[in-house]
Amino acid sequence: MTCREVEGLLGAYADGELDLVRSLDTEAHVRECAACSASLERLEALHVAVSSQAPYYSASPELRRKLASRMAPRERWAVVRSPWWVLAAACLVAALVFWKVSPTGLGTGSAAIERDVVAAHVRSLLADHLMDVPSSDRHTVKPWFAGKLDFAPEVEDLSAQGFTLAGGRLDYINGRTVAALVYRRRQHTINVFTWPAGADESPQAEGMQGFHVVHWVKHGMAWWAVSDLAEDELRELARLL
Ligand SMILES: [Zn+2]
């Protein structure tokens, strides 16, 4: 495994979420590699700091009433009767889950989607499962999705603009099956995920685990492009799609 591959897996490794094979591979790499070992130590220190120093708050009677009013009658009774420390623990767990799922601290679903998108990108490279339909012909790739999705993704040939279509596959982002289009630029792989969405949004860029992510909504479709390419190249792709 390379440091880049390990980097993408360290969080899941520290949380014990990897399968056995990948966990052993990661462990073996970390044992030999000072840089990755230091990254893992930082992660574990953060973990310990959060679990030992996160503030505990007891729920006020007012918060307890508000929570209860949003619950089904059976749950409500349990909340009203439960001791304050049970509620406080529940709030802490909710806060930690929130913090973990959303490292940027905001509760918009986009942080969770970004995490999924980067994970899917890394997975497609690691597992050597980049394409189910390897083709540079949009007239082959687009029909391949028919019947596999409840929408028809736009597939563009952008080779004249320096983004070569390499193929497509299905992937799973934010709880739904989506179209993944694979483009190449020089030696770099770009995964572009798309699915139906609401109102248009202009492109926004984020960075995560050494990858750049640009996402936008156009003509009712959400687009998420992820790669180790520079951000402005992904923005260029966003303008073309
Ligand atoms: Zn390493």
- For 115-135, what is the mean pLDDT? 89
Q: What are phi and psi of 184, to 5 degrees?
A: -125, 145
Ligand 1 centroid distance, CA of 30 (Å): 6
Please give the radius of gyration of the chain, using alpha carbons only, rounded to the nearest integer.
Answer: 22
Domain boundary among 35, 53, 71: 53
Each residue of 81-124: pLDDT tens digit? 555 656 666 666 666 665 554 444 333 478 889 999 999 999 89
Each residue of 53-63: pLDDT tens digit? 666 566 777 87
Task: Please give the Cα distance from 97 to 169 (Å, whole number).
Answer: 31
Ligand 1 centroid distance, CA of 52 (Å): 28
Mean pLDDT is lowest, of 5-9, 61-65, 138-142, for 61-65
Each residue of 58-77: pLDDT tens digit? 677 787 777 777 776 555 55
Ligand 1 centroid distance, CA of 167 (Å): 30
Phi-psi region at 209: left, alpha or beta (left = phi > 0; alpha = psi -120 to 50): left
- Specify whether 212 is located in the same domain as 141: yes
Q: Which of 50, 5, 62, 57 is nearest to 30 (CA)?
A: 5
AA letter at 41: E
Ligand 1 centroid distance, CA of 36 (Å): 4
As for how many domains the chain has, the answer is: 3
Q: How many helices (H) and strands (E) does the chain have?
A: 9, 7
Output the pLDDT for position 110: 84
pLDDT band for 134, please (50, 70, 90 cuts). Answer: very high
For the entire predicted model, the pTM comes to 0.57
Domain boundary among 34, 53, 72: 53
Ligand 1 centroid distance, CA of 23 (Å): 14
- Specify whether 97 is located in the same domain as 115: no
Output the pLDDT for position 93: 66
Q: What range defines the domain where residue 42 resides? A: 3-53
Ligand 1 centroid distance, CA of 60 (Å): 47
